[in-house]
Structure 1
Amino acid sequence: MSDLRLIIFDVDGTLVDSQVMIYDAFSFAYTRAGLPAPDRAEALSYVGMSLEKIFPALSPELDSPTHAALVQGYRDAYFHIRQERGSRASSPFFPGARAALDLFHAQDWTLLGVATGKSTRGLDKLIAGYGLEGYFISRQTADDHPSKPSPSMIHAILAETGVPAARAVMIGDTSFDMDMARAAGICSIGVSWGYHAADTLVCDRLIDDFAALPDTVDQLIGPAT
């Protein structure tokens, strides 16, 4: 097992560009609650956290029942939008993302995992929509863990795979992803195209396109054998 290596991906803002869908869901949730929609940039800056953490942070002046209503409104809208538009239209891959996944998936000694603030239902729909069944040996979501940057999701993936922390790396677009990786004791690679500005990511490496990812992974945790 010690020869295996593990690459853990965030989803929204890292693999797929879902910002239009996500902000539409935010807007629907607030409108249904009779509230003005939040500022787009501010709302998207919280992507990556669990919904139960996002709304109290985004609207601290509101009470707990209203936060709960916003969470449900967001989930209802997200489900409807995905059903209406489909995964490929509502959450398109960033350029080079699918090719990178295919490359790593074909490597016998490389395991892939997901650590995402999405729900299990949302992740499963995305995977099915893109035909990615069997790609990710471990899929950890907000349904079963504390919000990022808690290292809980990474700890679960390491435990499931048996891969040592020194042979694991987290790929993400937010400071929540980078802080989670650091708390779990694994390497991190930030991507410059996501929800948080590149200069805010405290990571081991920063990449500007997926073409740079294979070599960067090899440098940090060693090549696939």
Structure 2
Amino acid sequence: MTLKNNKFEMVIWDWDGTIMNSTPTIVECMQQSCRDLGMPVPSDQIASHVIGLGIIESIRIAMPTVAEADYPLVLERFRHYYLGKDHELTMFEGIRELLSDLKANGHILAVATGKPRVGLNRSLNNHQLDDYFHDSRTADETRSKPNPQMLLELMEKWAIPAHKIVMIGDTTHDLKMAKSAGVSAIAMSYGAHSAEELLAHQPLACFSKVEDLRHFLLS
């Protein structure tokens, strides 16, 4: 299919906090896991800050006093709570329609997420989004954000130059990853990190509404 808009050939999406309105749920599950285990409970700010990183890196930063030997306990508790709520999560309004129109417009769509593969596949299936994406990378398959490996692998596989790729995310981890890979980045301020934090990393644009993102990508 011929691309109708030549601004970007490939649009790469973060998942949690960008496509899925999951930030409050992740924070709640992380905090409840710590309460169950009698561990220090991270604040909302700290818990939301690590969203987008791989799970091990998230624990290391948000729960610095937890011994590495206890990480499996935290993981087990987190998964227990998250799996109980995963099916209740919803996409941000307008995302499905935007993904559909971008694909119809000829863009290659991909996901680069801190979720593990099993978690991403479950969410794709739960929300019937499998057919929208051409490719994806997860933190348990490559290096965790902000390392650029996810983007570099996608760039190489699809033979698309950096200037024809844009990364869309709601965290500074996404923006740092994009910068390291040499690709453009668009920040969405409705997720885990504030507009002020995101703008400090000088994204191509920062939007608070999917409607504004749609206008930027398709107009």
Once the 2 structures are TM-superposed, how far is the Cα of residue 23 of structure 1 from its aligned partner?
A: 2.3
User: 1:103-139, CA deviations, whole angstroms, 9 ceiling, x for partnerless residues?
Assistant: 11212x2100000001111111111111112211111
Q: Partner letter of residue 31 of structure 1?
A: R
Q: Report whether the alignment pairs 1:137 with 2:141.
A: no
Percent of aligned pairs sharing the same letter? 28
1:49, 1:117 within 8 Å by CA — same for their partners in 2?
yes
Q: Distance in 2 between matches of 1:19 and 1:194?
A: 6
Give the stretch that moved more between structures: 143-152 or 14-23. Answer: 14-23
2:122 corresponds in structure 1 to 125
2:194 corresponds in structure 1 to 197
1:173 corresponds in structure 2 to 170
Pick aligned residue for 1:64 from 57, 60, 68: 68
1:169, 1:217 within 8 Å by CA — same for their partners in 2?
no
Q: Report whether the alignment pairs 1:151 with 2:155.
A: no
Aligned length: 212
* Deviant stretches of 4+, over 4 Å: 1-4
Instruction: Point out where structure 1 has 5 or more consecutive residues left out of the alignment.
Output: none
1:192, 1:208 within 8 Å by CA — same for their partners in 2?
yes
Q: Report whether the alignment pairs 1:160 with 2:164.
A: no
Q: Distance in 1 between matches of 2:214 and 2:81?
A: 36
Q: Report whether the alignment pairs 1:92 with 2:90.
A: yes
Structure 2 SS opposite 1:113: strand
Q: Partner letter of residue 205 of structure 1?
A: A
1:101 corresponds in structure 2 to 99
Structure 2 SS opposite 1:102: helix
CA root-mean-square deviation: 2.0
1:2, 1:163 within 8 Å by CA — same for their partners in 2?
no
Q: Distance in 2 between matches of 1:192 and 1:7?
A: 18
- The normalised TM-score by structure 1 is 0.86
Q: Distance in 2 between matches of 1:19 and 1:210?
A: 16
Instruction: Point out where structure 2 has 5 or more consecutive residues left out of the alignment.
Output: none
Q: Partner letter of residue 29 of structure 1?
A: S
How do 1:9-24 residues align onto structure 2 when only pairs under 5 Å count?
9-24=13-28
- The normalised TM-score by structure 2 is 0.89
